[in-house]
Chains A and B, each alone.
Chain A
Amino acid sequence: MVILTTILQRIFYAVMLLIAVLVLNFSMLHLAPGDIADTIAQASGGADADVMEQIRRDYGLDQPFFVQLGQYIGKVLSFDLGHSFFYNQPVTTLILEKVPATLLLVITAQIFALVVGVLLGVFSARNPNGMLSHFVTFVALLGYAAPVFWTGILLLIAFSLNIQLFPSGGMIDVTVEGGFFAQTWDLLKHMVLPVVTLSTIFLALYSRLCRASMMEVLGTDYIRTAKAKGLSENEIIYKHALKNSLSPVVTLAGIQFSAVISGAVLVEAVFSWPGLGSLALQSIIARDTPTILGILFFSALVVIVGNLITDMILRMIDPRVGSKG
């Protein structure tokens, strides 16, 4: 019951936060210089004063700011994100078309970074002065220092151009025939480089944090108790120590989730991955306001849902989270 009310409370806060994001996004784009009607007119090859007036009326641009804002929020709450000038399609359709690709990339990269980061962290914490530990430190430093697009381009040159292991871009190869298995294999091959590129920096972060928190946990009294019980080293590490040292890593992963999404924009550009990031880039260049607003809104939604999930996972890991006393 307590859990349920907490979840409901969280969801209520999340909706409030989303509305705040909507207001902020809309206001900022409204404040930005330039007239949307101009852009639309320009796209259709120019217009006279009457047509401009017509455009303004059609899109509700002649209304006062607060009326426009109210209408916008009302529409969004009924899942209508507006109509794209540039693509001439409803924004919701546009976004939903691109979402699976981005989510696939973002979630795979996040999980990859977490799993590999945690494993590297655990291994190096078991022997903090060993070769592996120094190697992890080195890789972490490198991963943290290298910009995402640079890593991406280097990987492309190495594993797509010189050693032709992986395709250089896109998500699927339309020429691939065969059943589900062949297509999945093709998708996986396309995913390797973007996922590795996107996850490098986060993998570095998580492994360093996991190493530190694991080392701290291994020095605690309850680990001594576990040893006094005669448990094996693996039981001590993977049962008693790991669950305790995960909390900070999961917390960081939750905070970094938004960074993974913004990183995806760059990775999608480098690997021509057909996701939200590419859509965002094109619509910014085209000054397609409704699409930009829609993408911003959707990213905020994903981040908020991500935080909600993080919170739930933390509760599952550590019973002390959220309990009073």
Chain B
Amino acid sequence: MAALLKVENLRIELTTRDGIAPVIDDLSLELNAGETLSFVGESGCGKSMTALAIMGLLPDKVGRVASGTIMFDGEDLAKASDARLREIRGNDISMIFQEPMTSLNPVYTIGEQIAEVLRRHQNMDQAAARSRALELLDAVRIPNPKSRVDDYPHQMSGGQRQRVMIAIALACEPKILIADEPTTALDVTVQAQIFDLLRDLGKETGTAIILITHDMGAVAEMAERMIVMYAGRKAEEGPVDQIIEHPRHPYTKGLISCVPHLVAQLSDDRPELTEVRGIVPSLMDFGRDECLFSSRCERADDKCRSSRPTEMKFKNDQHSACWQAKEL
């Protein structure tokens, strides 16, 4: 089966005060219909940039796709016109964001904000869009939708607002839903509910989900495949259970040992919770021909510091961009 979304050799450049920085450098990935793929990595590693590039929403005049293709349904989104991208956004590919408190427009009712996207893409009239909005509110498990549809965002809690965002995103039954840290701003009990909701609705509608997060626990629960990103490059890719079982990249290993409940017992192998020491290299160093993780890696040798690792493929469909992947 052909992939629904196929990103190849994507390079995104950001114009900063100090010059041009490649925030995404030679990234390739595939997303199949209906699957959940997770992007993992710490802040600034390029997870959100990749998502924004797919949406065609890179910040104006600052970010641009320098090379590579983003193939969706036989169409290269990196070269699509603004008008065409507007047709796709919210309809075929939609996105929910990290901040439910500020992501809804405070001066329009939530019903209107849901109905708007239906009118835009599905040619629904006022009445049809409104009744569909009611159904959607019900689908995202907001109790008593009839009495909430005319509420304004400030009358709802953070969790409810994120549900409304999900309703907006799923209104046109998109093929891809990008969820950019959808629960980071919510408290833990609500996080679990939102993840349940995303998983159930994704299954019902057959929507493929790209889940961007730095929470390895959420990845383990939600996703089938994951891509670990570091400093704008892909560090590791593969099935979630395989990677958690046996990470083939020192950075993935470090991330996993930061999470308390992924490994049930603390063993000799992993006596205590750890951190990934050091800091991410600065944006201006992103283009260098070396393993960008080498400055923080205990195993780094001269080869790591002098040439960029090529991707190594394993039998179980795990890929790792580490010179020592085999030994790990």
Contacts and interface: CB of A to CB of B under 8 A. Distances in A.
Interface in B104-142: 104-108, 116-117, 120-121
A222 B90 contact: no
A228 to B, nearest CB: 5
A229 B89 contact: yes
A240 interface: yes
Nearest to B100: A221
A179 interface: no
A323 B106 CA distance: 13
Contacts of B155: 323, 325
A221 B106 contact: no
Interface stretch (A10-18, A275-283, A313-321): A313-321
B91 A230 contact: yes
Contacts of A44: none
Nearest to B92: A230
Contacts of B87: 230
A222 B106 contact: yes
B120 A231 contact: yes
B140 to A, nearest CB: 16
Interface residues of B, number: 30
B94 interface: yes
B90 A323 contact: no
Contacts of B152: 319-320
Contacts of A318: 106-107
Interface in B80-111: 85-91, 94-95, 97, 99, 102-108
A225 interface: yes
B54 to A, nearest CB: 11
Given A222-B102, A224-B97, A323-B154, A229 B120 contact: yes
Contacts of A258: none
B190 to A, nearest CB: 19
Contacts of B102: 220-222
Contacts, number: 73
B126 to A, nearest CB: 15
Contact of B86 (A230, A240, A244): A230
Contacts of A320: 106, 152, 154
B106 A231 contact: no
B100 to A, nearest CB: 9
B24 interface: no
Contact of A224 (B57, B121, B168): B57
Given A221-B97, A229-B120, A317 B89 contact: no
A221 B48 CA distance: 14
A144 to B, nearest CB: 29
Contacts of A230: 85-91, 117, 120-121
Nearest to B105: A222
Interface in A213-264: 220-222, 224-232, 240, 243-244
Given A230-B121, A231-B116, A325 B154 contact: yes
A60 B18 CA distance: 80
B122 to A, nearest CB: 12
Most chain B beta-carbon contacts within 10 A, residue among A224, A225, A317: A225
Contacts of A222: 102-106
B165 interface: yes
B55 interface: yes
A221 B102 CA distance: 6
Contacts of B95: 228
Nearest to B98: A221
Interface string B148-188: 00001011000000000100110000000000000000000
B51 to A, nearest CB: 10
Contacts of B120: 229-231
A319 B113 CA distance: 15
Interface in B269-292: none
Interface in A282-325: 317-320, 323, 325
Given A229-B168, A240-B105, A244-B106, A319 B154 contact: yes
Contacts of B85: 230
B31 to A, nearest CB: 18
Contacts of B89: 227-230
21 contacts: A220-B102, A221-B103, A222-B106, A224-B97, A225-B97, A225-B104, A225-B165, A227-B57, A227-B89, A228-B57, A228-B94, A229-B94, A230-B90, A230-B121, A231-B86, A240-B108, A244-B105, A244-B106, A319-B152, A319-B154, A325-B154
Interface of B: 55, 57, 85-91, 94-95, 97, 99, 102-108, 116-117, 120-121, 152, 154-155, 165, 168-169
Given A221-B102, A224-B103, 4 more contacts: A222-B106, A228-B57, A228-B89, A228-B94
Q: Which 3 A-B pairs have the closest CB atoms?
A: A230-B89, A230-B90, A229-B90
